[in-house]
Structure 1
Amino acid sequence: MLVEAGELVSGYRSGAVSPVEATQTALDAIERYDEQVNAFVLVDAEGALAAAKESEARWHSGEPLGPGDGVPTSIKDALWTKGWPTLRGSTMIDEAGPWSEDAPAVARLRETGAVIVGKTTTPEYSWKGVTDSHKYGATGNPWNPSKTPGGSSGGSATAVALGMGTWSVGTDGGGSVRIPAAFTGTVALKPTYGLIPLFPPSAFGTLSHAGPMTRTVRDAAALLDIITGFDARDWSSMPTPTTSFLDGIDDGVADLRIAFSSDLDFVDNDPEVEELVRAAVGVLAAAGAEVTEIDPGFTDPIDAFNVLWWSGAAKVLEAYTVDDRVDPGLRRVAAIGSAYSASDFLDATAARMELGLLMGRFHRKYDVLLTPTLPITAFPIGQDVPDGSESPDWTSWTPYTYPFNLTQQPALSVPCGFTKAGLPVGLQIVGARHADALTLRVGRAYEAATDWHQRTPTLEAR
């Protein structure tokens, strides 16, 4: 049964439900399912229950720490957590630490009293669009564990889908919260860059964002309220928002100008994906939006993105002796990245700036842009690319996500249906920079008119 964070908090306030009960439910789901899907690298049941009891006492006394007090939450193992190792799916990081500091998003969650149940899987250094590593093995899709959940925040998406906590926080450098959201039938937002501060900084630079991963758009907005805010450790951190992202989220789309591109004029979609996304666009048109089918007018920026991303991969491995303990794909792209020149990097940055200018002008006319989140559905576990791919690169099958890391725009993935094989499909909603609230509002309007977000995996316990 789907229970939103807001419903939990209302129950805590009235005494109808306890943070201890909610946390135990999340821990029971981990116990029941994680052996099949391998979503967690660390679970602290004892610590989570102790934190839940403290939250329960605060609610009983009428003094909760904040709107997330007692909400069970997981953290992708790419974000620092005080007292717990952050190994990033790598065998090269010293587990001994010291682990003396929280990442900004984790610190904000602790300040509001959220119950952090554990840390979720990621490929090595979050470098690709699926979730497997030499360190922890492969993570399975909650709808079919023989398929990938996508990545790199695949553990977080799988955890949320299976009720292993209400919220999770992932990271997204080229689609890493939206790819697994689409493959698992969950919700994820890559917000405007800088809205959620990051520390330590990513080797992939300003492509990398943190983002909320949830079952509903309202929950994504509620979690975003908590994990945003200025942090002096991040030089690009934006000022703390002065209004809630829940304000106006139910205002609908009747006054909005929505652009829809089924393929950005350079993508081939699976026919079932195309059909379901077009139907989703029709739902928003029926809700009163003025929908125009139009391409934004850019060519595939994959070359520019790969220069920046592969350069980051080279930087990741720079400090280590690289051997067969490292993901072979990461080794391959790092070798490519190490050969790029400063001029190559600046050319890619210039292409990025041109794309940002184009999209800035596009959003003068259109409030949001709709696309598929991905052109395909989940493929077999343990592969970087689908069967029959002519490219070994994960960017070859994620053409709708990485362009908007280049531009730093907010991009939201919401579930919009299932194929005949029972695999989820995602609709991507892209807003202008700083239009995160509007992007969430469009997603909520679609969610309110459909029931895809209420569907839960029927994975049987072993």
Structure 2
Amino acid sequence: MTIRSDRAGTEDAGAAIGTAEGALGAAAVPHARPGELATPADLSAEQLLTAYATGSLSPVEAVDAVLERIERDNPALNAFCLVRPDEAREAARASAARWRRGEPAGALDGVPASIKDVHLTRGWPTLKGSVTSSQEGPWEEDSPVTARLRESGAVLVGKTTTPELAWKGVTDGPLTGVTRNPWDLSTTPGGSSGGSAAAVASGMGPLSTGTDGGGSIRIPASFTGVCGIKPTWGLVPHYPASPFGSLAHTGPMARTVGDMALMLEVVAQPDPRDWAALAPPAPGIGDVRLRTDAEELVRGMRIAYSPTLGGLDVDPEVARAVADAVAVFEELGARVEETDPDLPDSREAFHVLWYSGVAKATDGLTDRQRDLLDPGLREIAEEGLTYSAKDYLTAMALRMEMGLRMGRFHAEHDLLLTPAVPVTAFEAGLESPPELEGERWTAWAGFSYPFNMTQQPAASVPCGFTPAGLPVGLQVVGPRHADARVLAACRAFEIARPWADRRP
């Protein structure tokens, strides 16, 4: 690949990557495909920032490399529903000028990033994956997460695909079609942040936004071998308010824990439009990326390990990978106990809350518009209309009981480890694996949605691969407000079992 430079003189991609490798360690630099030279698209956000600071790489080169990767791979993956190369290059040139002056705008200046198509983005349509959304605009406002990225200097390259109204744990729909997994194009990347996950996994930008109302960050992170965290509810401000209420979280998706922590620190800042947002975290939540001693990060932690979360069916290959990952924490000096938080079966209660949200999200559609909806979405919207206020309050009562149990559980255990998802990626275009045909996506997402109900921070990090080469995710759950602790555990595992050098 030939790289164009806006600096005096030129340097090829290999030289730039070599400098970043020297600064951050060879093990952190991903490998290109066999026979393919590595490009700036294969670098993490941290590596890009180091290269910008040393002058060995320009944001223009990085953004060009990402746009070339999108042009090459997006037709197969369908990760992006909108790409704006001219605007991205203009922003990259402005970033390069700031770096030359030694005046970067913020912590992510010049880093390519993408926005899930549920977050408002000034000047770009936000269609939420729905054929019923108006494309006319006006599009005059950024959501909080978009605004914080823009203020930090991140270069926004486009918007990523989502199922219609982000309603399910896979990514396909009438508007944008089927999104595919870069590890195996016949399989789904998960959802609803499947476009973001596929983009990050394939090198179409190191950072992307995600939302998670029942697993929509952690499921695709697990299926595509990337990192994602659902922060404590309210830590990242959300606007417009989600129809799914306090189930819905916004969070970062990235290839590495360091990038995930850096992005979380950027987006977890105040915004007056979210009346329920928490105070921003204490400065330094992103500094976990600077830690290099895995044992120091988790030594003495009291960690619970629940392989089935009370009896969920888990694919043996997933169970094996997760058990091996849990053993790493013991090796690092954590006190690991196999135990279970004894949560009640909450699937039906979650349905009441989730389907009611879908009913609200589709309120006001005409009969013709309803006929155009994803059939599954239309079905649960109709079911959501049948619930009474008593049904909703009963579901909320169970939710409060779950929160009480988890609060007591975490008085004895600093963290909880589980599989992120009990299965690996299955056939693209299906809502559920073939063996669960006819079931809603919640039938196989039982490790994720309970922690939306309790509003706890929960992350998925890659912990291995099946013999077929599909990624497996480890879920790390902490008590409310313990986001830094979750990040520390994820970082310790990343140091002990690095994964960034293995790519689709």
Q: What TM-score do the two structures reach when normalised by structure 1?
A: 0.98
Q: CA deviation at 1:415?
A: 0.4
**Equivalent in 302, 305, 308 of residue 257 of structure 1:** 302
Q: More displaced, 415-424 or 2-11?
A: 2-11
Cα distance between partner residues in 2 of 1:317 and 1:61:
49
Q: Percent same amino acid among aligned pairs?
A: 54
Residue type of the partner of 1:244?
G
Q: CA deviation at 1:297?
A: 0.9
Q: CA deviation at 1:155?
A: 0.2
2:298 alignment partner, SS class: coil
**1:293 aligns to 2:333 (yes or no):** no
**Equivalent in 132, 135, 159 of residue 92 of structure 1:** 132
Cα distance between partner residues in 2 of 1:294 and 1:363:
12
Cα distance between partner residues in 1 of 2:352 and 2:205:
36
Cα distance between partner residues in 2 of 1:96 and 1:254:
55
Cα distance between partner residues in 1 of 2:309 and 2:213:
20
1:110 matched residue in structure 2: 150
2:440 matched residue in structure 1: 393
2:33 matched residue in structure 1: none
2:381 matched residue in structure 1: 334
**Equivalent in 372, 396, 399 of residue 352 of structure 1:** 399
Cα distance between partner residues in 2 of 1:377 and 1:241:
34
Q: Please give the per-residue CA displacement for 1:62-111, whole angstroms capped at 9, x wherever unaligned.
A: 11111100000000001000100000010111101111100001001111
**1:450 aligns to 2:490 (yes or no):** no
1:413 alignment partner, SS class: strand
Structure number with larger C-alpha Rg: 2
Q: CA deviation at 1:390?
A: 5.4
Residue type of the partner of 1:344?
D
Q: What TM-score do the two structures reach when normalised by structure 2?
A: 0.89
**1:80 aligns to 2:112 (yes or no):** no
Residue type of the partner of 2:63?
T
1:370 matched residue in structure 2: 417
**1:14 aligns to 2:85 (yes or no):** no
2:345 alignment partner, SS class: coil
Number of equivalenced pairs: 457
**1:55 aligns to 2:102 (yes or no):** no
Q: Please give the per-residue CA displacement for 1:186-217, whole angstroms capped at 9, x wherever unaligned.
A: 00000000010000011111100111000011
When residues 159 and 390 of structure 1 are mapped into structure 2, their CA distance, relative to the original with a 3 A threshold, is closer
The 8 Å contact of residues 371 and 400 in structure 1, kept in 2 or not, is answered as yes
Cα distance between partner residues in 1 of 2:319 and 2:183:
20
Residue type of the partner of 1:236?
A
Residue type of the partner of 1:14?
T
The 8 Å contact of residues 367 and 432 in structure 1, kept in 2 or not, is answered as yes
**Equivalent in 480, 488, 494 of residue 433 of structure 1:** 480
Q: CA deviation at 1:303?
A: 1.2
1:237 matched residue in structure 2: 277
Unaligned runs of 5+ in 2: 1-29, 31-41
Cα distance between partner residues in 2 of 1:431 and 1:150:
23
**Equivalent in 243, 248, 251 of residue 211 of structure 1:** 251
Cα distance between partner residues in 1 of 2:223 and 2:343:
26
Q: CA deviation at 1:299?
A: 2.2
2:253 alignment partner, SS class: strand
Q: More displaced, 52-61 or 8-17?
A: 8-17
**Equivalent in 315, 322, 328 of residue 277 of structure 1:** 322
Q: Please give the per-residue CA displacement for 1:375-425, whole angstroms capped at 9, x wherever unaligned.
A: 000110111011021542110010000000000000000001110111110
**1:191 aligns to 2:231 (yes or no):** yes
Unaligned runs of 5+ in 1: 458-462
1:247 alignment partner, SS class: helix
**Equivalent in 56, 74, 77 of residue 37 of structure 1:** 77
1:168 alignment partner, SS class: strand
Q: CA deviation at 1:3?
A: 2.1
Q: CA deviation at 1:113?
A: 0.7
Residue type of the partner of 1:423?
L
Q: Please give the per-residue CA displacement for 1:163-198, whole angstroms capped at 9, x wherever unaligned.
A: 100100111000001000000000000000001000
RMSD: 1.0
**Equivalent in 339, 364, 375 of residue 319 of structure 1:** 364
Q: CA deviation at 1:451?
A: 2.5
**Equivalent in 58, 64, 77 of residue 24 of structure 1:** 64
The 8 Å contact of residues 411 and 430 in structure 1, kept in 2 or not, is answered as yes
Cα distance between partner residues in 1 of 2:286 and 2:246:
27
1:303 matched residue in structure 2: 348
Cα distance between partner residues in 2 of 1:168 and 1:405:
20
The 8 Å contact of residues 288 and 491 in structure 2, kept in 1 or not, is answered as no
Cα distance between partner residues in 1 of 2:113 and 2:235:
20
1:460 matched residue in structure 2: none
Cα distance between partner residues in 2 of 1:228 and 1:350:
29
Cα distance between partner residues in 2 of 1:240 and 1:282:
34
